[in-house]
Chains A and B, each alone.
Chain A
Amino acid sequence: MITALLVMAGLALVLGATLGAASVLFKTQGDPLVDKIDAILPQTQCGQCGYPGCKPYATAIAGGDADINQCPPGGDEGVRKLADLLGREYKPLNAEHGVEKPKSVALIDEATCIGCTLCIQACPVDAIVGAAKQMHTIVGDLCTGCELCVPPCPADCIDMVPVTETVESWKWRYPVFELKVQPATLPAKEAA
C-alpha cells in the first residue's frame, strides 16, 4: 500500500517536473498566430487598414479587434488566405479601406524635387534616399507602393508608376485550349 503510494507520488513528481521544465524550455515567444497572420499580409505598411503597419493590423486581427477584409494591397486572395487560416467566413474587401490596385512603385520627378525630406520621413520602409535641400530618389526595388509619400510632398513631384512585366518577371499563362469553330463543310464531306 505504502509502496504503491510512493510509486504514484514519485511518478507524479517526475512527470510534473518534466512538464514544468518543458514549459520553461519550449516557451513560445510572442503570439504565433500574429506571426502567421503577418506572413499573409503583403507588408506594404500603407496603413490603409487603419493600423500603423502590417504587424499592428495582424495583432488586431488576432485579438479580434479588426476584420480580415481591411487590406486592399493584399487583395481578394489575401482575404481568402486569412479566412482559411482563421477558419472564418470569406467576405469581400471593405471598400472603406480602399480598393485593390495593380502594384505600383513611387517615382520622384527629380527635376521638381525641392529636397524638403518630408517624403523620407513618411516612407515606412526607408526606400527614399536624399538629404535636406538635396534631390531625393526612390529605390524602386525597396518601394512597397504604399503611397504614404505622395500626400506630404509640397511640390507634388511623386507619381505612382504601375510595375510592368519584364522578361525576368514574366509568367507562363494558364494553358487554355482555344476552341475553333469547325468549318461547316466537314460533316458534309464525311457524309459524302
Chain B
Amino acid sequence: MLNKLFSFNGGVKPDPNKSASTREPIARLALPPQLVIPLHQHIGGTPRPLVTVGSTVLGGQRIGAPDGNVSSAVHAPTSGRVVAIEPRPMPHASGLSSPAVVIEPDGLDTAIERELFDWHAAAPGEIRDFLRDAGVVGLGGAVFPSHLKLNPGKSGHTDTLVINGAECEPFITCDDMLMRAEPGNILRGALIMQRMLAAKQVLVALEDNKPEAAAALKSAARALGHASLEVVVVPTRYPAGGAKQLIRVLTGIEVPHGSRSTDFGVQCFNVATALAVWRALEHGEPLTRRIVTVTGNVERPRNFDVAIGTPISHLFAAAGLKPDTDKLIMGGPMMGIPLPNIDAPVVKATNCLLASSPTLFAPPEPELPCIRCGECARACPADLQPFELYWHSRARNFGRAQEYKLFDCIECGCCAYVCPSHIPLVDYYRYAKSEIWARERDKDAADSARERFEFRNWRADREKEEKAAKLAARNAAKPAVKPADGAAPAADVAPSAGEDPKKALIEAAMARARAQKEAVAAKNTDALTPAQQAQIDAAEERRKRASELSGSDAPVK
C-alpha cells in the first residue's frame, strides 16, 4: 500500500537511552494516600468542580464538568473522600499552584456504574460529546481535547488518519510499552477514529528502534484484517514523532505556516489517545489512568500504569530515586520541562519523569557567542532559521522574531543540541513566546477596556440627550394644557420656553409656587376674630423671642 516514505529536513540522532525502562513490563502502581487531581489538565477552559469538600466519590465519577466545548471533563480515578478543593502545586516549570480536587482513597476502589454507550448507532456529534465528558484528550503531550480533532469538518471526510507511535524522544518508552501490551485495542481505537473521521486509510507509524512493538502491532493488524489499516515503520531520527514531521515522512505533505494538517486531509493522534478512545466508547471508561515512564537516575527504571493525580514523589519512590539527583524533568531530555516540585501530581500530559544527575547529563557549558555557523538551521526540522530567532529573541525584538515564524518552532531542541556555542536556544524561544503571549493578553485587555470606556461615554451622552428630549417634550406639551388653569403662569412660561428649557421650567415652578402661596395666604387670614388675632400676635411674639435667643446662642456654639 504505502510504497514510499518521505523525509523531513534536519533532525538529530541523540542516544536513545530507551532500553533501561523497557526491560520490565508495565507495573500497576498502588494508590498513594492522597490523589491531587488538577481541574485544568488540557488546552481550553478550566472545568468547574462538581463535588464539594467532604463528599464521597466513586472511581470514574466525574468531578469536573467541561467548561464549554473547548474543554474536557475530569474524573476521580478511585473511590474515596474529597478532602479539599484548593490550589495545589502543578507539574509546571513555574511551580505555581492551580485549583485541584484532593481525594483520599478509601482503598475499596469501588467504581461508579459505567455509562455504556452504543457508539455504533450514535451520531458523530453524540460520540464527540461522550468523549468530551469522558475526559479524552491527546496523550502525546499537547493534551488537546480529542473530540475537537475527531471532526472531519466541512469536507466530511479525511484522507489519512495517522496514529503516532513514533516516540522519538530519548528515554521515553511509555508508548512503546503500551503498543507491546495492547496492540489490538490501540488498533480498534484507531478504527473507531477512522469511522468518525471517514478516513480513507489509517497509518500506524512507529520508529524502527521498536521492533517488538512493531511486530505486536503487525500481528494485531493481521488479526483485525482491515485493508485500510497499515502499520508503518519509519526510520529513527529525532523528531520523527512531531506531528508535522511524521505527516511529512508518511505522506510527503509539508504543512505550511498558518495552516493545519486537516487542511490537507490528514489528522494525527497518539497511540495512547487511540486506546483511551476505545476504552471510553467500548467500556464507558473515562480517562483516569495513564502510562508514565520513570527513568534516568533511578534504581529501577520502568513504566508505571498510574492513577492521574498520583504525586510524582510516589512514582520516584517506587522506582528508587538515587540520592545524587540534581534535577527532575517532566518529559524527555530534549523537550522536557524542569519540575520544581516533586509533590506535584501526575497529569494527563505526564508521559515521562526523568531524574537527572551530573553524571547522566553533564551540567550545561557556559554560553558562548553565536559564531553564525548555521548548524542550527541545518538541524531545524521545521525549516526555520534558529540563529535569526535567537538574535531577535535575545534582543527582545519580538516583532522580528515573529516575522521569522517563531510560532512555527516546535521547541524540539535540535538547534540547541547541535549548537557548538552551547546556547540554550529553546530557552530564548520559550521566553520570547511567553512574552509575546503576555503582550497579546495585555493588548486584548486594553482593547476591551477602550471599548467599554467608549460605550460608557456614549451611554452617558445618550442619557443626557434623552433627558433633554424629554424635557423639551414636556415643555412643548405645557402651553397647550396650562391656559385653562390661569393666564398668568402660561404667560410667564411662553416667552422664555424658547430660550432655555431649564430656566423656563424653574420659572414656571416659581410662578406656580407664588400663585399657590397667594391662594393659601388669602384663604387663611381672611375674616379673623379678635381672639384669633390675639393668638396669632402672641405666637408671633414667641417666634421673635425664639429667634433672638437662638441668634444669641449661635456665637456661643
Contacts and interface: CB of A to CB of B under 8 A. Distances in A.
Nearest to B337: A172
Contacts of B120: none
Given A43-B450, A126-B455, A171-B431, 17 more contacts: A43-B446, A43-B447, A54-B450, A55-B453, A125-B452, A126-B452, A142-B449, A144-B449, A165-B96, A169-B438, A169-B441, A170-B434, A172-B93, A173-B431, A175-B428, A177-B424, A179-B366
Interface of B: 40, 90, 92-94, 96-98, 364, 366-367, 424, 427-428, 430-431, 433-435, 437-438, 441-442, 445-450, 452-457
Contacts of B367: 175, 177
A12 to B, nearest CB: 43
| Among B98, B438, B450, B457: residue with most chain A CB under 10 A | B450
Contacts of A170: 92-94, 96, 434
A179 B363 CA distance: 12
Interface in A124-144: 124-127, 142, 144
Nearest to B456: A126
A171 B441 contact: no
A175 B431 contact: yes
- 3 A-B pairs with least C-beta separation: A175-B427, A43-B446, A170-B94
A186 interface: no
B250 to A, nearest CB: 32
**Size range of the interface on A?**
20 to 34
A172 B431 contact: yes
A165 B95 CA distance: 11
Contacts of B94: 165, 167, 170
A154 to B, nearest CB: 22
5 contacts: A45-B449, A124-B453, A172-B427, A174-B431, A177-B424
Contacts of A177: 364, 366-367, 424
A171 B453 contact: no
Contacts of B428: 175
A125 B96 contact: no
B453 A45 contact: yes
Contacts of A127: 452
A23 interface: no
A30 to B, nearest CB: 13
B424 A175 contact: yes
B449 A125 contact: yes
Nearest to B449: A43
Nearest to A166: B96
Contact of B452 (A41, A142, A173): A142
Contacts of A179: 366
Most chain B beta carbons < 10 A, residue from A55, A170, A179: A170
Contacts of B97: 167
A172 B96 contact: no
A147 interface: no
A42 interface: yes
Contacts of B448: 142
Looking at B431, B446, B449, B455, the one whose CB has the most chain A CB atoms below 10 A away is B449
Contact of A43 (B438, B453, B456): B453
Contacts of B40: 167
A173 B428 CA distance: 9
A43 B447 CA distance: 7
Contacts of B93: 170, 172
Contacts of A169: 438, 441
A52 B446 CA distance: 16
Contacts of B454: 55
